[in-house]
Amino acid sequence: MSPSLRPFARTIPQASTQAQDDPPTPGAVIAGVLLFLRRNPLRIALVALAVTAPLLALGYFLRQYSATAVIMVDPRAAKITQNSGVLANIGQDFNAIESIVQIAKSDGFMGAVVDKLELTHDSYFAGKGTTEEALRQSTIEKLASKLIVSRRGTTYVIDVTVSSPSPEKSAKVANAAAQVIVDDQARLRIGASEMTAKEIEGRLSQLRDRANRAEEAAADLKAKLKITDAGQGSTLLERRIYELNQQLVLAGARTAEARARYELLRKAGASAGDNLPQTVQSTVLSALRSEYARLSRQAADQATVLGPRHPEVASLQAQIGDVRRQIGAEIGRMMASARTEYLEAEQREATLSSQLRSAQAESGQLGPELVKLSELDREAKAERAVYEELLNRQRQLAQVKGLEPSDIRIVSPALPPTKTTPPMMVIFGGAAGIGLVTGLLYAFIREWRHNTLKTASQAKRLGGVEVLGCAPLLPPAKDEEKGFVLDITPWIADLCAELGPVAGGENGVVIMIASARRGEGRSTVAVNMAAFLAQGGDRVLLIEADRPPNVKRPRYGLLDVLDTGEDLNRALIEQPADGYTLLPYGGRTIDPQTSIGGLMSGMTLRATLKLARKWFDVVIIDGPPALEAPHARFLAAQADHTVFLVEWDKTSSADANLALDRLDLREATAFYNKADAARLRLYDPEQSRQMTNLGDEMAHAA
């Protein structure tokens, strides 16, 4: 690049020229949103207004008033009597409370409210139907959409909310629905108690008759068997057998005791003396033994002093003998008494045994009858017990009826609301919000569907291409020699500096100008690049690889060289005013049926470009559109650099992406052309500012 042209070089901002792998910063996001709003203010406002106005009108005419009645299910059990009803209070059963809420949402509950308030004749809640049943069902369905029964979290509070255009009607229906819930629960408990009392009353007479019949049958059998109750559930015969058995046991014990005493006395005999146990001794025998012992000691003492022949000793011996005889007589008397007592006990035991056997024989004869009697007694007692239990329960239910308070009640009746639900301010805010969101969404979808390329970041997303310039949309300038031309030289300075030849290189650089379709300014950019590089002192060759528009008679050029293989010099045309050499498209000598793609894809083109590299520092190929000429891919393959031209806000991302795929480039440089600086400010303010500054500098320099 020559020093005189260097001041025109401009660098595109980093945010617009380099791919950003990192996520956008909050500032960049906010800036993008603000630019989006600046681009679409009128569009967003009109769509928002078009949506908000009908929504406000609809919200006003369909405004609703919601009234809520509050029901409390009290878990505390009020204890007035010791006996409770058939159904106990709900208490802390959360599932039972939830069941009440679910039942209140059923068609049966809704039907009860409809019938109670005669809503089939109401102007708002009445449904449609040709028959009474269809009308009622339609009214139930409409009420279900307006009536909400819900539980507050896990509390014992139930809300009954009704919405309608009339505040008074909402409160009336909400209170009626709440009252139906309370009445239904009260009726359920009272009805259960009343139903149970009636069932008990119907069975009491049957149980009474059965109990009487069982007792009469037992009494008749007792009279027939001549059995008398002895109390405590036993008969007189059973009591007699029991007592005889007890007496026989005692008599046997006494007989055994008498026998043992008699045998002891009999075995001991009169010579037993002191050997008798204490149990068979008497008071007389004890006294005689004491006297015998005293006389024996006295006689022994006297015999020691006076001698055994002394008269006093002899007298004492006589007394001792007399006492011994008395002891023997007493023992004999005791043996006779023990024998008599033993015989009497034995006789008494035999008598009791005989009586017991007789009673047992009598009881054995009545055994089957007694079993039957016992069965009759048990049956009578069972029937009587059931009868008395049900009779007591009936009296308890009669006492409890109406005394136990209900555990479910209305704690806050619904009052006519003074504000709509939701309030009008909320409706206005919601309508405005929906309108604004709709406008934003419409603008976003419109921009999304209008997928033309406008910014460097959009071009990068096509495949990582690098954007090296952006030329504005300029009016053609009048030139005395060339006619109307576009001078975009200042805006392609960076592009030429980046792709220009390297100092000291042996071969020239081949640059191809490509685009997706025709009319995107390839020829203009190619001519300006050639002129710019030629002014910098480079030998530049501009090759027209696409047929120029409005050419009536083709000149001798590229196609002729490729077709005939003649000398390249013959086709070159010097452009003295711009300083570069032109190789026109040609076609004067070729057959109209010749394949252009075949010529552009052959070995001759490679040889021609190789020769051009030796003669020139820069070879610029004004290539054909990639989506319309298949041989554009071959030309791009021969180039060292490819500049992919994008017409600002005209070239779609789909066309650009497809064109780059067809060109099959390892890397490409994008260049925006025909950019509207005023509109670009709404997409990329920095790039728009630079374009405007360049234009101002050119105008000032002029």
- What's the confidence (pLDDT) of residue 327? 79
335/280 Cα distance (integer angstroms): 10
Query: pLDDT category, 212, cuts 50, 70, 90?
Result: confident
For residue 126, what is the DSSP state?
-
- What's the confidence (pLDDT) of residue 343? 86
Q: Which of 365, 384, 402 is the last residue of a domain?
A: 365
| Segment among 84-88, 463-467, 641-645 with least mean pLDDT | 84-88
Q: Are strands 669-675 and 466-472 parallel, antiparallel or unpaired?
A: parallel
Helix (H, G, I), strand (E, B) or coil at 82: coil
Same domain for 133 and 247: no
- What's the confidence (pLDDT) of residue 381? 75
Same domain for 391 and 512: no
pLDDT digits (tens, 9 = 90+) for 663-688: 887 778 889 888 888 888 888 888 88
pLDDT digits (tens, 9 = 90+) for 545-579: 888 877 677 888 888 888 887 788 888 999 888 88
Given a cut of 90, is residue 46 above it in pLDDT?
Answer: yes
Given a cut of 70, is residue 202 above it in pLDDT?
Answer: no
Domain annotation covers residue 442: no
Given a cut of 80, is residue 275 above it in pLDDT?
Answer: no
Q: Which of 404, 419, 434 is the last residue of a domain?
A: 419
Given a cut of 50, is residue 16 above it in pLDDT?
Answer: no
Decide which of 271 and 94 is more confident. Answer: 94
- What's the confidence (pLDDT) of residue 50? 92
| Segment among 155-159, 373-377, 566-570, 576-580 with least mean pLDDT | 373-377
pLDDT digits (tens, 9 = 90+) for 276-333: 555 555 677 778 778 888 888 888 888 888 777 888 888 888 888 888 888 778 777 8
Nearest to 160 by CA among 187, 140, 179, 184: 179
215 bridge partner residues: none
For residue 163, the domain's CATH number is 3.30.1890
What would the mean pLDDT of 63-82 be, rounded to a whole number? 76
Same domain for 500 and 587: yes
Same domain for 469 and 612: yes
641/495 Cα distance (integer angstroms): 11
Same domain for 263 and 167: no
Domain annotation covers residue 8: no
The length of the chain, given as a count of residues: 702
What would the mean pLDDT of 16-25 be, rounded to a whole number? 52
| Segment among 42-56, 204-218, 474-488, 528-542 with least mean pLDDT | 474-488
- CB within 8 Å of 596: residues ≥ 6 apart: 559, 629, 631
Given a cut of 70, is residue 19 above it in pLDDT?
Answer: no
Same domain for 474 and 581: yes
Domain annotation covers residue 302: yes
- What's the confidence (pLDDT) of residue 64? 87
What would the mean pLDDT of 94-98 be, rounded to a whole number? 80
Same domain for 383 and 333: no
Domain annotation covers residue 52: no
| Segment among 21-35, 260-274, 373-387 with least mean pLDDT | 260-274
Domain annotation covers residue 48: no
Give the orientation angle of helix 26-39 with respect to helix 41-61, to 10 degrees.
80
- What's the confidence (pLDDT) of residue 178? 92
pLDDT digits (tens, 9 = 90+) for 108-122: 889 999 999 999 989
Mean of the per-residue pLDDT values for the chain? 79
What would the mean pLDDT of 599-619 be, rounded to a whole number? 87
Given a cut of 90, is residue 171 above it in pLDDT?
Answer: yes
Same domain for 353 and 313: yes
Query: pLDDT category, 161, cuts 50, 70, 90?
Result: very high
pLDDT digits (tens, 9 = 90+) for 227-264: 655 455 556 666 677 777 888 888 888 888 888 877 77
b/e per residue 663-691 (b: at least 16 CB within 10 A): bebeebbbbbbbbbbeebbbbbeebbebb
Query: pLDDT category, 543, cuts 50, 70, 90?
Result: very high
- What's the confidence (pLDDT) of residue 245? 81
Query: pLDDT category, 480, cuts 50, 70, 90?
Result: very low
Nearest to 270 by CA among 317, 333, 343, 316: 333
Given a cut of 90, is residue 619 above it in pLDDT?
Answer: yes
Same domain for 313 and 187: no
Number of domain units in the chain = 3
Same domain for 620 and 653: yes
Given a cut of 60, is residue 128 above it in pLDDT?
Answer: yes
What would the mean pLDDT of 474-499 be, rounded to a whole number? 68
Given a cut of 80, is residue 697 above it in pLDDT?
Answer: no
| Segment among 81-85, 129-133, 151-155, 419-423 with least mean pLDDT | 81-85
Nearest to 653 by CA among 447, 403, 474: 447
What percent of the chain is modeled with pLDDT above 90?
A: 15
Measured between its terminal Cα atoms, the distance across the chain in Å is 21
> Contact 646/671 with Cβ under 8 angstroms?
yes
Query: pLDDT category, 197, cuts 50, 70, 90?
Result: low
263/253 Cα distance (integer angstroms): 15
For residue 684, the domain's CATH number is 3.40.50.300
Same domain for 296 and 203: no
Range of the domain at 86: 64-227+366-419
Decide which of 74 and 660 is more confident. Answer: 660
Given a cut of 70, is residue 465 above it in pLDDT?
Answer: yes
> Contact 546/522 with Cβ under 8 angstroms?
yes
Decide which of 535 and 381 is more confident. Answer: 535
- What's the confidence (pLDDT) of residue 281? 58
Domain annotation covers residue 42: no
What would the mean pLDDT of 12-18 be, rounded to a whole number? 37
Domain annotation covers residue 171: yes
What percent of the chain is modeled with pLDDT above 70?
A: 79
For residue 640, what is the DSSP state?
S
- What's the confidence (pLDDT) of residue 190? 65
| Segment among 26-30, 182-186, 474-478, 505-509 with least mean pLDDT | 474-478
Domain annotation covers residue 466: yes
Q: Are strands 573-575 and 65-73 parallel, antiparallel or unpaired?
A: unpaired
Query: pLDDT category, 621, cuts 50, 70, 90?
Result: very high
Count of H-run helices and E-run strands, the chain: 22, 16
Same domain for 530 and 493: yes
Q: Which of 365, 388, 407 is the last residue of a domain?
A: 365
Query: pLDDT category, 390, cuts 50, 70, 90?
Result: confident
What would the mean pLDDT of 158-163 be, rounded to a whole number? 92
395/80 Cα distance (integer angstroms): 16
| Segment among 133-142, 196-205, 247-256, 340-349 with least mean pLDDT | 196-205
